Structure 1
């Protein structure tokens, strides 16, 4: 099972990192709870990536990790809603500070996958 460990990231600009040999996600302890959750889910999205994957396809790996984050955040969010038709993806994106067109496409796609 993947471990979660914390570090002081205030002066590093690093929010989190996944360390494959130790199967550990390191997260900046000074992040707020929402940002910490996003970072953990994102970093867990790197579990299947190899060093070679990341070296030659970094952007793809980052997008896959973002999709993992969005999937898990959406899954939690949908558990809070009685009627999934009430889900507003714009509010979801604002809540989690998701700003890119790629994020928007992932939110819509993951939402449709989860409700079907």
Structure 2
């Protein structure tokens, strides 16, 4: 698996770890500086999820976020889910062994939207 730092380098962004104890979220992406900030206190799995979510914002127009915020967040979550699925499926000998409920539990994905994205992306990746 590619490290977080290598993943950022592939996307042309810098990774900055910070203490988010007094911050409103676990991470952010700054379009101007091309920096992704991630809470340094996160466990490795949550850190990876947060990083992938923030990478999902790279193509978004920050000036239209107020109008497209819900859409952009859903797109970033889909990007995260797709990448987590790719990483998970790469560890299986047979992708038919994949259990999406176990995947959801492992990654603390709890919404119906998450479930639908996982099923859709799994189908797309295993065609």
Tell me the TM-score normalised to structure 2 length.
0.89
Q: In the alignment, what sits opposite 1:114? A: 125
1:49 alignment partner, one of 52, 60, 65: 60
The alpha carbon displacement at 1:28 in A equals 0.3
1:29-81 per-residue CA deviation (whole Å, 9 max, x = no partner) reads 00000000000000011001112331101000000000000000000000000
Rounded Cα–Cα distance in structure 2 between residues aligned with 1:28 and 1:90: 27
Q: In the alignment, what sits opposite 2:115? A: 104
Pair 1:37 & 2:48 matched: yes
Aligned-residue Cα RMSD (Å) equals: 0.8
Rounded Cα–Cα distance in structure 2 between residues aligned with 1:35 and 1:25: 15
Pair 1:63 & 2:74 matched: yes
- Asked whether the equivalents of residues 41 and 68 of structure 1 are also in contact (C-alpha less than 8 Å), the reply is yes
Pair 1:74 & 2:85 matched: yes
2:105 alignment partner, one of 94, 102, 105: 94
TM superposition outliers: structure 1 runs of 4+ over 3 Å: none
Pair 1:12 & 2:16 matched: no
Rounded Cα–Cα distance in structure 1 between residues aligned with 2:90 and 2:44: 19
Q: How many residues in Structure 1 have an aligned counterpart in Structure 2?
A: 116
- Asked whether the equivalents of residues 31 and 62 of structure 2 are also in contact (C-alpha less than 8 Å), the reply is no
Structure 1 gap segments, 5+ residues each: none
Structure 2 gap segments, 5+ residues each: 1-11
